[in-house]
Structure 1
Amino acid sequence: MSRTARVAVLGGGIAGLSAAWRLAKRLEPSSIVLLEASRRLGGWIESTKTSDGGVFEHGPRSLRLAGNAGRASLSLVEELGLGDDVLPVLPSNKGARKRLIYGDGRMNELGGGLAGMFRRSALFSEPLARAMMRELVRKNAPACEDETVHQFCERRLGNEIAHWLADPLCRGIFAGSSKHLSMRSCFPKVYEYERRYGSVIRGAVMSKKERLRYKNSELVKRSKKEAWVTWSLRNGLESLPNRLGHALSARGVKILKNKPCTSLEINNNEIKVHMKGEDSAVRVDSVVSAIPARNLSSALMANHPTLASHLERISAVTVAIVLLEFDGKVLPTEAFGYLVPSHQPSNALGVVFDSCSFPEHDRTGSPSTRLTVMMGGHWFNDLFGGAHSLTEDRIEAIARETIADHLGIQAKPTRCLVRILKDCIPQYNIGHHETIGAIDQYIEEHSLPLTLVGASYRAVAVNDIVDTTMQAVDQLCNKRMESWSC
């Protein structure tokens, strides 16, 4: 006999957990079921805490504070009672604010603040302020529905900025190529600045502040007063999904782990959710899917092949992460870390100097240094021949060669943790907005009780995922308010 619930949430990463949390505020929690394919919650957010007190992040390691998205995550942390565990990076931490680009065989600092805009970096033939002034008066090109990040930045700001800033920025955020990623989908605010104001710089100055959707919680007020740069949690960011899971279970939300969704059967406004290893299905009124688009595509192929084909077009890239710990202080400079442009000969996307931002995560006792080497992404198969051919020993060796070459660190690490994060970052390539439009249109035209959230669609950063998920759940509840008595 089939089990019943009102809403099924697919996926126990930060999007699925945020969706379930928001739903539990609007519905009877016992009417919500969350299905997670793996044995743990958190998705790509995963922290390892060692016996000597060290904390290592295998996925996201810190969150920023800007706008509603920043408020969404901090407000969630406060609601869950994690406020005392927050580790802020303050303006006094000058090292963590320093950003580096590796180019032409050396580290190049990006000038910070207003003064830095008027100083010439070794990477540029002139101060960045000059390029910004030219952008203010540059005429718009004919309206373009979509163009790559590289094309946009080259057109508005010049080849040097496209080459040395946009390229490594896309590698750091998306592990992707600026010559493939869509400006409209990856950086929608900047895209709109040009369309509305005729200039990116003018738009940044003149655009109205976004309407606040979240109250000024005590944690948000504190972050503003102290001007936090970024923040993390004392026991690692995985504390957030772990606390969400415990809180949801305590409220009565049913959480099923090791239960991947194999298919969704949608008929007459009812959905049957079939799970691996289960003869019966869960019957629900609505589904909130927070699983990757291609996983959802497989689940819908039998019932809705057209929708499945749209979802299949959203690809993702694989990233190798190597976490290294060394005895003593081995870095040649204090900084957040550095990025490596794609036109530089290197296996690395970038390296994060974890100990500079969050020394609280270093092991107790003797001094140590923690680094994270990121490799692969859009270039994974070209560099490594596919995830199946890689061993942890080979990945570690490549990472150590990289930091020896770039940073002069020859010492043997005291600890090394390796992860291959398969298909971890969706790629919003040219035409992504058209794909999302086709998906939305199909769901609306067929009146499917299906809500899509998560990194596959509109945002890859944790803050933005939490914010867009909560908005989507509110829209779902408002739409079905009468039948659900929300």
Structure 2
Amino acid sequence: MPTAVVIGGGISGLSSAYYLKKSAKFSKIIILEASNRVGGWIKTVTSEGGAKMELGPRSLRATGIPAGFNSLCLIEDLGLSKDVIHVSRHEPAAQNRFIYAKGALHKLPNKFSAFFKKQAPFSAPLFLHSFRDILTKPSELEDESVYDFVTRRFHAELAEFAVDPLCRGIFAGDCRKLSLHSCFPLLREAEKVGGGPVIKGLLKISRRPIPPRRQSTLFDTMRKETWSAFSFRQGLQTLPETLRDSLTSSQGVELVLDTPCSEVMFDDGKAKIVINGETLDADHVVSSIFAPDFASLLNQEQQNLKENLSKISAVNAVVVCVEFDGQVVPPTPGFGHLLPSSEDKAVLGVIYDSCTFPTHDRTDRPGSRYTIMLGGAWFDDLKAVVPSMTDEALGQYAVKALQKHLGFTQTPAKIKVEVMKNCIPQYIIGHENILEDVFAEIRAERLPLSLVGSSYRGPSIHDCMNNARVEIERVTGASLL
């Protein structure tokens, strides 16, 4: 009986198990999860009154092919289409995004004409920075930081006030250390394709036809209704829980909670997983957990693999969800605002949750929700200003920042704090070289091992699910979209 073991019950592990089951290549699939729940960093909490608080990721971007298309196909196959709620590109929550810099909120350009106007915090119209891009030759460097790339091709001001906060919002990371190759491979490719000008390269890439491999009614609906982002009526946790239910109702699939692994060994094309002092035999292992955590499970026979996986780092972050009684609205409705690291290292940004998904507001009376993100690559700076790091102190610090940024005087009725350790891997300069060494060794040793999850190529939910499918297709030889 061919057996596959999936380590980790987050979205990557569940997706891997789903595609393993769909491939029909394994008679038995066992999912091992160390905690008492599935979903990993996806965690929706419903407060008294029915308000939904997302203590991890809070929405999915309505992106195209392949990753976004894959997600929509999976959601459709799970029967979740009717549960999807979305934000249209024409709504303020999609059009209005802000930067809090130099002590004030600044709306980012959202129309073509805005690029020809001087707009704070930038000292000149953004279109002027495109001239440097036109005149700059492609770099001969194998890799460089995101900050250096944008400064070299455009302007340091664009790097500081646009890209720096963007990287803080996506990766909770420092764009001066993050790898362009691994974090924004499209920009790296555009420079090469365009023969220099990135804008020219992006235009060329955008014209490439990428036909979907199947029909998807939900994908067609997304395009027709011009979605910008989407979630589910009961929050994002709907997705992993529905995957869990689909898997556990299938013959040959076993989900084991509260069961951490203590060791993983490979011998003669097979794997042995030690749990609770007992050994579980497997024909294939899929690890979806944080790379260094998996490295700690390997024995000395895989020393090089252990060392390379341990080089992948991650940051700690704090999510503070707050709920006000009544309509407490931002100066201008929008998705939210981010902060450059030069403004406040400890505060990454604020999401205007009620503007984005009012469906998630409480149902018994008016209420308003916001989320403040703290720490990341600046977790030590956060500890310096909040020494106790208690939930109460972190909540108070976040609320003061929110009040300062948006001019609020009201005090939240509810505050929920979630401290997440090693939650967002950091693709620092040279990350791709680490991955090449890791996967080369797996191939050379012919290990029955797949590595999926946010540690490797993409931290988003879309990335995690799509990369899981691609890897399981590689292992099984099946077409699974």
Alignment TM-score > 0.5, same fold: yes
Matched, 1:12 2:18: no
Cα distance, 1:213 vs structure 2:
4.8
Question: Quick one: distance in 2 between partners of 1:357 and 1:53?
Answer: 17
With over 3 angstroms needed to count, the CA separation of the structure-2 counterparts of 1:415 and 1:96, relative to structure 1, is farther
How far residue 140 of structure 1 moved from its aligned partner, in angstroms, is 1.4
Percent of residue pairs identical: 38
8 Å Cα contact 2:3/2:26 also seen in 1: no
2:262 aligned partner: 262
**Structure 1 unmatched ranges of 5 or more:** 482-486
> Which of 89, 92, 103 does residue 91 from structure 1 map onto?
89
Give me the whole-angstrom Cα distance separating, in 1, the residues matched to 2:117 and 2:451.
45
Match among 47, 52, 56 for residue 50 of structure 1: 47
Alignment partners' CA distance in 2, 1:389 and 1:478: 52
1:237-257 alpha-carbon deviations (Å, 9 max, x no partner) = 000000000100011211111
Confirm whether residue 32 of structure 1 aligns to residue 29 of structure 2.
yes
Tell me how far apart the structure 1 counterparts of residues 404 and 182 of structure 2 sit (CA, whole Å).
35
Alignment check: 8 A CA contact 2:87 2:227 kept: yes
CA contact (8 A) 2:345 2:375 kept: no
How big is the shift at 1:374? 0.2
SS in 2 for 1:248: helix
Aligned residue for 1:372, secondary structure, equals: strand
Going from structure 1 to structure 2, the CA distance change for 1:301 and 1:28 (only over 3 Å counts) comes to: closer
Task: Give the Cα separation in 2 of the matches to 1:415 and 1:345.
Answer: 24
1:187 counterpart residue number? 184
* Contact in 2 for aligned 1:71/1:214 (Cα 8 Å): no
Q: 2:271 corresponds to which letter in structure 1?
A: I
In 1, the alpha carbon distance for the partners of 2:378 and 2:469 equals: 33
CA distance in 2, matches of 1:385, 1:315: 21
Q: Structure 1 residue 5: deviation in Å?
A: 5.2
The answer to whether structure 1 residue 105 and structure 2 residue 75 are counterparts is no
The answer on 1:163 being equivalent to 2:160 is yes
Q: Is the 8 A contact 1:34 1:254 kept in 2?
A: yes
In the TM superposition, residue 428 of structure 1 has moved relative to its aligned partner by 0.3
Q: How does 1:62-81 map to 2 (within 5 A)?
A: 62-66=59-63, 67-81=65-79
The CA deviation string for residues 325-365 of structure 1, in whole angstroms up to 9 with x for no partner, is 00122222211000000011353100000000100000013
* Aligned partner letter, 2:260: P
Residue aligning to 1:286: 284
Residues 40-65 of structure 1, C-alpha deviation per residue, up to 9 Å, x if partnerless? 00000010112312111011111112
Partner AA of 1:274 in structure 2 = V
Structure 1 segment 23-422 matched on structure 2, within 5 A: 23-27=20-24, 30-66=27-63, 67-135=65-133, 137-197=134-194, 198-207=196-205, 208-209=207-208, 211-252=210-251, 253-275=253-275, 277=276, 279-330=277-328, 331-345=330-344, 347-384=346-383, 389-422=388-421
Check the 8 A contact 1:8/1:33 in 2, yes or no: yes
CA distance in 1, matches of 2:345, 2:367: 26
1:248-267, CA deviations, whole angstroms, 9 ceiling, x for partnerless residues?
00112111111112111100
Letter in 2 for 1:12: G
Alpha-carbon shift at residue 389 of structure 1 (Å)? 4.6
- Range with greater deviation from structure 2 (203-212 or 450-459): 203-212
Please list every run of at least 4 consecutive aligned residues from structure 1 whose deviation after the TM superposition is greater than 6 angstroms.
none
Q: Which residue does the alignment assign to 1:445? A: 444
Query: How far off is 1:288 after superposition?
Result: 1.0
For residues 387 and 41 of structure 1, the distance between their equivalents in structure 2, rounded to whole angstroms, comes to: 31
CA deviation vs aligned residue, 1:392-419 (integer Å, no higher than 9, x gap): 0110110011012111222121111100
SS at match of 1:455: coil
Call closer, same or farther: CA 1:388–1:163 in 2, change over 3 Å. closer
State which drifts further: 111-120 or 281-290: 111-120
SS in 1 for 2:419: strand
Q: State the shift of 1:23 in Å.
A: 0.7
Q: Which amino acid aligns with 1:266?
A: F
Per the alignment, residue 468 of structure 2 pairs with 469
In structure 2, C-alpha distance between the alignment counterparts of 1:425 and 1:180, rounded to whole Å: 14
Displacement of 1:273: 0.9
CA distance in 2 between partners of 1:463 and 1:281 (Å): 34
Q: Superposition RMSD on alpha carbons, in Å? A: 1.8
1:123 CA displacement: 1.4
